[in-house]
Amino acid sequence: MKNDNLRRGVRLRALALFSAVLGVIAIFVLSSLEQRRRAIEEARESLLYEATIAASMVSADLRVVQITVESLLSGRADGDYAKSLPGIVLRISGATNAYLLDSNGKVLASAFRRRTPSLSVPGGLSSLVDTQIGVAFAEAEGGYVLAFVSNLSPSRRVAVLFRHFSTQGPFVTLLSGRGGLMTIRDASGAAIRVDGSSFDAPLPLPGGERLEANFAMPSFPLTVSVGMEKGVALAEWRESLLQGSVFVALFSALVVTLLAYGNRLQSRGLEAQRLASELALKELLFKEANHRVKNNLAIVQGILHLSASEAEDGTADAEILDAAASRVESIALLHDTLSHLPIGEDVMLDEYLGRLLEAIVAASRVGDQAKIETDLQEDLAVDLDVALPCGLIVNELVTNAIKYAFPNGRNGTLRLSARKEAGDKMLVRVEDDGVGYETTHEAVRGSGLGMQIVTLLADQIGATIERSLPAGGGCVWSLAFTQAATRH
C-alpha cells in the first residue's frame, strides 16, 4: 500500500512538472508568434511612414520644377526655347539636364551639350506627355532618369531630367543602412530604384520575401515604394526567440533532471522499503530462532539437572551430569547476551563473565563458605569466537575451584578478574586461597574431562593458560589471549 502511494505521488509530481513544461512551451510559442506579428506590423507602419516622407520630399522637388519651368518658358517663341534650357537647369536644384523635344520625342537641343542625346520612354512619349512626369532612359545622361515633361507648343516640349533629388541622399542612406530600398513608379508601371546618388534600374530585394509600403503622390502620377527584407524586420524578434528558446531548453532540462531525480528517489525509496520489510522479517525470524534456542537450551539444562538429581550423590554420573548442565548454562548465558546485541557487534566480556559467575555460584550454593570477588575491567569487547571458549574455560575453572578448593566447609575467597593488557591482549584470572595443588607451576595437562576441555578451548583461540600456586596457599589460573580469535 505504501509503495502504491509512493508511486502514485511520484506520477502526480511528474505529471505536474510535465504539464508545467508544456504550459511554458505553449506560452512561449504563442508569445513568440504574437511578437512576430507585432514586429511585422511595426515594420510595415515604419515603412509606410518612410514612404510618406519620401513622397513628400519628391513632390516638393517636382513642384519647384513645375513652377520654374512655367516661369522661364511661358510666352516665349519657339526659337527662344533652346536658349532658356541652361537657365532652367541652373535654377532647378538637382536637375541633370533639360531637353527640347519635337512632337515625336526627338531631342532638338539640350541645356548641356551631349554628342547624341536621346530620351526613351517605356510607355511611349504620348504616355509621358499625358502624365507629365515618368520614368525614362537617357543614355547620354548615364541611365535611368525621372523626366518632367511640359508642353510648350503643339510641336515643342521641354523635358527636365533628374538622376537624383537634392533631398534624397540622407534619407536613402538611412534606408539602405537598414537593408531597405526605395523605388518610384509612374502611371505606366515603369519604375526606377533610388540609390544614394542616382536613379537605377529596379532590382528585387535579396532574400526573396519582403515587406513593402506604397504611397501615391496626390499632385503627381507617381507612387513611392519603400521595402525591406522581412528578415531584417524580424532580426530583433529572432534574437528574442533565441534567448527564449535557450530559457525553455534550460527549463525543460531542469524538469527532466527533476523527473530523473524523482524516479531515482522513488527507486531508492521502494528499495529502502523492501529492505526494511526484509530486515523486519529477518529480525522477527531471528528473535523467534533465539527464543527457540533459548528454550531448547533450558530444556537440555533441565534434563541434565533432573538426571543428576536422580543419580546417586557423589557418583561419577552425577558429577558428569552437573558439569554438562553447567556448560550448557554457560552457552545459554552467552546466547542470551548475544540476543540483546545488534548483529555483528562484539561481546562485552566483563558483562558476560560477571553474569556467568553469578549463575555458577547460585547453582553451587557455595556463597555461605566462600567469598566471591570480581575485578572486571569495563568495556572489554571481544569477538564471539573468543567469548564462547573463554566463558566455557572460566566455567570449568570456577566450577573446579568451588568443588576442590574449599573442602569440608573450609572458608575462603574466590576471585575472578579480567583486564586488557598492552595492544589487544586480554588477561583473565581465576584465583582462590583454598587448599591448592600438591605441585607448583605444572602445565595444564590433567587427565580429567574438564581440564581436557580447558586445554582444547585454549588452543582453539590461540590462548595460553598457566597455573601458579602462591606460597600462602591457593591456586591462580591465568588465561591470556587476543581480542580476535587466532585459530589453531
Predicted confidence (pLDDT) per residue in 422-453, tens digit: 888 899 999 998 887 754 334 443 447 778 88
Residue type, 99: Y
> Which of the listed residues 214, 233, 252 is the one where a domain comes to its end?
233
Tell me: do 293 and 209 sit in the same domain: no
Residue 241 lies in a domain: no
Residues 296 and 426 reside in one and the same domain: yes
Q: What is the pLDDT of residues 457-472, one digit of tens each?
A: 899 889 999 998 888 7
Question: Would you say residue 248 lies in a domain?
Answer: no
DSSP annotation of 140: G
Contact by Cβ (8 Å): 160, 88 = yes
Highest mean pLDDT among 104-113, 278-287, 336-345: 104-113
Q: Identify the pLDDT of residue 57.
A: 80
Q: Do residues 343 and 466 both lie within one domain?
A: yes
Is residue 370 situated within a structural domain? yes
Task: Work out the percent of the chain whose per-residue pLDDT is above 70.
Answer: 74
Identify whether 349 is part of a domain.
Answer: yes
Query: How confident is the model at residue 439, as a pLDDT?
Result: 43
What lies within 8 Å, CB to CB, of 432 at 6+ separation is 370, 401, 405, 406, 412, 413, 414, 415, 474, 475
Provide the grid cell at 79.
526659337
CATH number, domain of 376, equals: 3.30.565.10
Span 131-158, pLDDT tens digits: 578 888 888 988 888 888 888 777 888 8
Instruction: Give Cα separations from 467 to 15, 63, 464 (angstroms).
Output: 78, 139, 10
Q: Which residues lie across from 465 on neighbouring strands?
A: 479
pLDDT single digits (tens) 7-62:
666 677 777 777 877 888 888 888 888 988 898 898 888 888 888 888 888 888 78
Per-residue pLDDT, 427: 93
Residues 145/161, Cβ–Cβ less than 8 Å:
yes
Same domain, 225 and 291: no
Host domain of residue 122: 11-233
Residues 289 and 410 in one domain: yes
Which residue would you say has higher pLDDT here, 335 or 23?
23
Choose one of 202, 233, 264: the last residue of a domain: 233
| For range 87-94, the mean pLDDT | 83
Does 101 share its domain with 221?
Answer: yes
pLDDT of residue 126: 66
- Do residues 209 and 294 share a domain? no
Strands 143-153 and 133-138: antiparallel
- Whether 1 maps to a domain, the answer reads no
* Average confidence score pLDDT of the chain: 77
Domain contains 264: no
Burial of 468 (0-12, 13-18, 19+ CB in 10 A): middle
Within this chain, do residues 207 and 322 fall inside the same structural domain, yes or no?
no
The answer to whether residues 210 and 288 belong to one domain is no
The reply to whether 245 falls in a domain is no
281-320 per-position pLDDT tens digit:
777 776 666 667 667 766 776 776 676 666 666 566 666 7
pLDDT in tens, 371-417: 889 999 998 888 878 888 888 898 889 888 888 888 877 888 889 99
Q: Tell me whether residue 87 is in a domain.
A: yes
Q: Are residues 196 and 103 in the same domain?
A: yes
327 and 449 assigned to the same domain: yes
Sign of CA dihedral 439, 441, 442, 444: positive
pLDDT of 488 over the 50 cut: no
* Nearest partner of 434 among 407, 399, 467, judged by Cα: 407
Per-residue pLDDT at 187 exceeds 50 = yes
Least confident of 321-330, 352-361, 373-382, 438-447: 438-447
Look at residue 102 and tell me whether its pLDDT is greater than 90: no
Query: Contacts by 138-145 with C-beta closer than 8 Å and gap 24+?
Result: 138/97, 138/99, 140/97, 140/114, 140/115, 140/116, 141/96, 141/97, 141/114, 142/198, 143/198, 143/199, 143/200, 143/201, 144/192, 144/199, 144/200, 144/201, 145/96, 145/192, 145/199
- pLDDT the model gives residue 440: 35
pLDDT at 479 > cutoff 90: yes
**Residues 376, 433 share a domain:** yes
Domain limit, last residue, from 171, 200, 233: 233
Domain count, the chain: 2
222 contacts 133 by C-beta, under 8 angstroms: yes
